[in-house]
Amino acid sequence: MPLDHYVTLGHSGLRVSPLCLGTMTFGKEWGWGSEPEEAKRILDAYLDRGGNFLDTANGYTKGHSEAIIGEHLAHDRKKRDRVVIATKFTTNLFTGDPNGGGTNRKAVIAQCEESLRRLRTDYIDLYWMHVWDGTTPIEETMRALDTLVTQGKVRYLGFSDTPAWKVAQAQTMAQLRGWAPLIALQIEYSLLQRTVEGELVPMARELGLGVTPWGPLRGGALSGKYKRADKGKHEAARGARVTSYLDDKTFDLLELMEKIAYELGTTVPRVALAWVQGRPGVTSTIIGARTPQQLEDNVGALEVKLAPAHVAALDATSTPTLPFPVNMLSAVPSFAYGGTTINGQGSQVWSQAPKNDSERF
Taking alpha carbons only, the member of 272, 286, 110, 270 closest to residue 192 is 272
Taking alpha carbons only, the member of 58, 158, 144, 133 closest to residue 105 is 144
- Measured CA to CA, the distance from residue 305 to residue 288 in angstroms comes to 21
Give the CA angle between residues 173, 175, 176 to the nearest 5°. 65
- Measured CA to CA, the distance from residue 291 to residue 303 in angstroms comes to 20
**Whether 90 contacts 60, CB under 8 Å:** no
Q: Which residues have a Cβ under 8 Å from the Cβ of 154 and sit 6 or more positions away?
A: 112, 123, 124, 127, 145, 148
**Whether 153 contacts 124, CB under 8 Å:** yes
Q: State yes or no: is 60 an active-site residue.
A: yes
CA distances from 124 to 88, 106, 118, 183, 234 (A): 10, 18, 11, 14, 40
- Measured CA to CA, the distance from residue 241 to residue 143 in angstroms comes to 35
**Whether 115 contacts 124, CB under 8 Å:** yes
**Residue 90 burial by Cβ neighbours in a 10 Å radius (0-12, 13-18, 19+):** buried
- In three-state secondary structure terms, 190 is strand
From 6, 60, 189, 245, the catalytic residue: 60
Q: Taking the alpha carbons of 217, 223, 227, 230 in that order, is the dihedral positive or negative?
A: negative
| Chain centre distance of CA 300 | 19
**Whether 60 contacts 23, CB under 8 Å:** yes
- Tell me the catalytic residues: 60
